[in-house]
Structure 1
Amino acid sequence: MQTAYARIVHDRHLQRTQRGSAEVEGRKPVKTFATVVKDLCRRLIAFLFTQVGVCGLVVAYNILGAFIFRAVEGKFGDPTPEETASHLREEMVGRLWNVTIKLNVLEEGLWRQEVVGALEDFQKSVVPLVKTRGYRGVLPLEAWSFSAALMYSLSVYTTIG
């Protein structure tokens, strides 16, 4: 009766002799799936530690960061100034339409006077949006385009390190 240790030694000896006889006969030894995976992992890690591999990792890191920033910031930005400006714009269009219907184009001087007054009122209501509430004219999802998110990711990466 063989012990477990003797069995392991005998199995290893058989593997070596089979490998040796395969090499002598000109055949390559059969690689198992685990050996192939280990070999690929070794090669991948060796490549990632080269300059090209590190640059590739930095680029992939920044692209992934851009997608994450766009997903997070695009949905939860503050759309309030943009919504207010859109509401003011709609009111202005309605007001100008009413002036045009009421005065008709035949009374051009009076029409221009009313339109200029309406536009000045619109300007007085939009300027505080720009100065105090940060109105930029775009919704948060539109502001976080992929290129803007990539630029933000690059700036965070280069600033923090």
Structure 2
Amino acid sequence: MSRYSKSEQDGFYEQPSFCSNFLHYSWKTITCLFSHITLVSMVVSYCVLGAFTFEALEVENEKAVKRGIPKIRQNVTQHLWNFTQEMTALREENFTAGAIKYLKSFEGALLNAMTKDGWDGIEDEHKFQWTLTGSLFYSIIVITTIGE
């Protein structure tokens, strides 16, 4: 449908009527608003759904990692105690070499927990990194990173 119609008699275009203009601009406004509202609501729902998903997936893993840290510390402590019990005479050279070996394994286990398992250094099982707000923030970061 053309907004302008050509008159056969004089070759001039006549102006569209008020009703035609109103319908045309109303349709443009409505389609623009609905398309933007739909897009924004889809992005917001993606972020919220992603926040709930990330939180549900990661909280149990974070708890398991936090439960493992005291066990790592207990193992090193027990190894050091057993090491001192096995020594017939406590000599600084022998003890230092053995203690360094066990402490390096402890350090490696802590670094592994931080770099690969995502441990943040806090052992309290009631404090999480993956709260709903943290997960929402992560979800927003993911969508903005993918969007670029």
The structure carrying a bigger helix percent of its residues is 1
| TM-score computed with the length of structure 2 as normaliser | 0.41
| TM-score computed with the length of structure 1 as normaliser | 0.39
Structure of greater Rg = 1
